[in-house]
A = this chain, B = another copy of it.
Amino acid sequence: MQQVVDFILELDKLKGVTRKTKPLGLERYENSAEHSWQLAMLASALVRFAEQPIDLDRVISMLLVHDVGEIDTGDTMVFVEGGWEERKAAELLAVQRIFGMLPDPQGARLLSLWQEFESGETAEARFAHAVDRAMPVLINLASGGQSWRENGISHERVLRRVAPPIREGCPALWTYLEARLDDAKRQGWFGVTSAAGS
Which residues of A come within 8 Å of B, CB atoms? 1-2, 4-5, 7-9, 11-16, 23-26, 28, 30-31, 33-34, 36-38, 40-42, 44-49, 57, 60-61, 64-65, 102, 106, 109-110, 135, 138-139, 142, 172-173, 176
Q: Are A138 and B45 in contact (CB under 8 A)?
A: no
Shortest Cβ gap from A107 to chain B (Å)? 9
Q: How far is the CA of A14 from the CA of B30 in the complex (A)?
A: 12
- A30, A44, A142: residue with the most chain B Cβ atoms closer than 10 Å: A44
Which secondary structure characterizes the binding site on chain A?
A: helix
Q: How far is the CA of A34 from the CA of B11 in the complex (A)?
A: 11
Q: Are B7 and A15 in contact (CB under 8 A)?
A: no
Residues of B within 8 A of A57 (CB): 57, 60-61
Q: Are B16 and A110 in contact (CB under 8 A)?
A: no
Shortest Cβ gap from A24 to chain B (Å)? 5
Q: Are A40 and B40 in contact (CB under 8 A)?
A: yes
Which residue of B34, B46, B106 contacts A37 across the interface (Cβ within 8 Å)?
B34
Q: How far is the CA of A37 from the CA of B139 in the complex (A)?
A: 19
Q: How far is the CA of A7 from the CA of B135 in the complex (A)?
A: 12
Residues of B within 8 A of A42 (CB): 4, 8
